[in-house]
Structure 1
């Protein structure tokens, strides 16, 4: 009987190792769905064939259906609101990684002066590093204001803990995307990158699919890319071809390729 139980344990461990091995440790989920139908749609992202290994939703606290989804959640301090409570929220979740301000270089997003952002970082976010939490820098846009803002922030935050640099990119052409992330890596050496928002803005389904295949395989091959999340896990809207689900909540060909 003991030998039989040991045999069953070995089988269970083998199955678990296969499951874990099937996950792509870089591939994340940018969850942009609303609460309804998000509470249903999230189940499509964590099946036996899913390779997604982390998720975020631009917020500090996941809704119940995300926290119970089985996909590790990464909190984000989107802007300045609620920043005094961010560290306690992160610790309560037991999170080991966080994401900083969202596109602070844009007036339409978190819109924070780089020097002021550094001051807030030192006071409210940097102390989390003492608890073993990995800190992702503010994620700037790929527009003309993005990298200059990041340079100013890092200069003002000398001595701060920045474990990795998130970035965003939208456009067309895998070669343009690959060139951009290479430029960022060259400009900010010594820190790995996470691409926490990226997508092709082409309206041609085939072009978007090929863009995804080429960029994800390229990032999977790079040691200095630690993570990436396609924009977005969201039902299809008019005028877009990058959504991972159709209007009814089924994974598109694009979504199936990314999730599975």
Structure 2
């Protein structure tokens, strides 16, 4: 019998066994935006508690041989997150044509390591002409096809980040790409003073409950990860941990939600 959601995870650099023990009964995976887990929490420790670490190649600056060595040393890892928020300055800002040139490097690693590609991690951005994630995707797919004999890029799952109301509608907008989703960052950080602002723990708990229920219900959502474990200041009441190995009220709520 499954004792926890296979979809549920966190976007946070888990670094201690105490934190792992506090949350392991309610999550099945996590990532830390890096290509390897924190030195304080080797992959074997988290995997032994039923929590998979998933590497991310955040942008184009990675060393293929090192990444392949990590995958071959940890054959239990079957997925690779790639390209974090390519439409946002300060993140992995990557024009569609540049991403098309980068993608064969991801595909080469995926082929050699036998892992699936999860990405890019889309969201609404700041790139002129490509603020909408679907517009960026259309241009990226076209640029890849033009450079690769009309072929489509390998995208096994599409990543998405969302920090407001309306997650269902956003996923519906991207459903035409025909890929299952990993919602690799989500919370509600609605700040507009319009009566719907998230300004209390109870409001965030309500939003978490609704979004988790949506992700659990939708067959096209394969994985999802709450952002984040700890943050200071925390104006939207998002943190899942307090002290080392101590879940916050929201953290206890997250791992208690039905699946």
Does the TM-score normalized on the shorter chain lie above 0.5?
Answer: yes
Aligned-residue offset at 1:207: 1.3
Q: Which residue matches 2:159?
A: 166
- Return the match for 1:183 from 163, 173, 180: 173
Select which of 71, 88, 92 maps to 2:73: 92
Alignment RMSD: 2.2
Query: Match of 2:57, SS?
Result: coil
- Alignment equivalent of 1:231, drawn from 227, 230, 250: 227
Deviations 1:61-103 (CA, angstroms, capped at 9, x unpaired): 1123152223111110001112433334333322211101111
Pairwise CA distance, 1:125: 3.2
**Alignment coverage as a number of residue pairs:** 230
Q: 1:31 to 1:113 in 2, by over 3 A?
A: same
CA distance in 2, matches of 1:149, 1:83: 26
DSSP 3-state at the match of 1:200: coil
The SS at the match of 2:184 is: strand
Given candidates 185, 193, 197, the residue that maps to 2:185 is: 197
Quick check: 1:77–1:83 contact (8 Å CA) kept in 2? no
**2:36 paired residue among 61, 84, 92:** 61
**CA-to-aligned-CA distance 1:92-143 (integer Å, 9 cap, x gap):** 3222111011111111101122222222211343452354311112102234
The answer as to whether partners of 2:22 and 2:245 remain within 8 angstroms in 1 is: no
The residue number in structure 2 matching 1:15 is none
Higher relative contact order (CA 8 A, sep 6+): 2
The 5 Å alignment of 1:119-138 reads 119-129=101-111, 131-138=113-120
Deviations 1:10-47 (A, max 9, x none): xxxxxxxx4xx0121111121146x5xx453232111x
User: SS in structure 1 opposite 2:120?
Assistant: coil
Provide structure 2 residue ranges, at least 5 long, that are not aligned to the other structure: 126-130, 145-150, 190-197
1:256 and 2:257 equivalent?
Answer: no
TM-score (norm 1): 0.80
| 1:76 pairs with one of 56, 66, 69 | 56
* Structure 1 segments (4+ residues) deviating >4 Å: none
Shift, 1:148, TM fit: 1.9
Cα distance, 1:235 vs. partner? 5.1
Larger radius of gyration: 1
Is the 1:129–1:161 contact (alpha carbons within 8 Å) kept by the matching residues of 2?
no
Choose from 87, 92, 96 the match for 1:105. Answer: 87
Structure 1 residue 218 displacement after superposition: 1.4
The structure that is helix-richer by fraction is 1
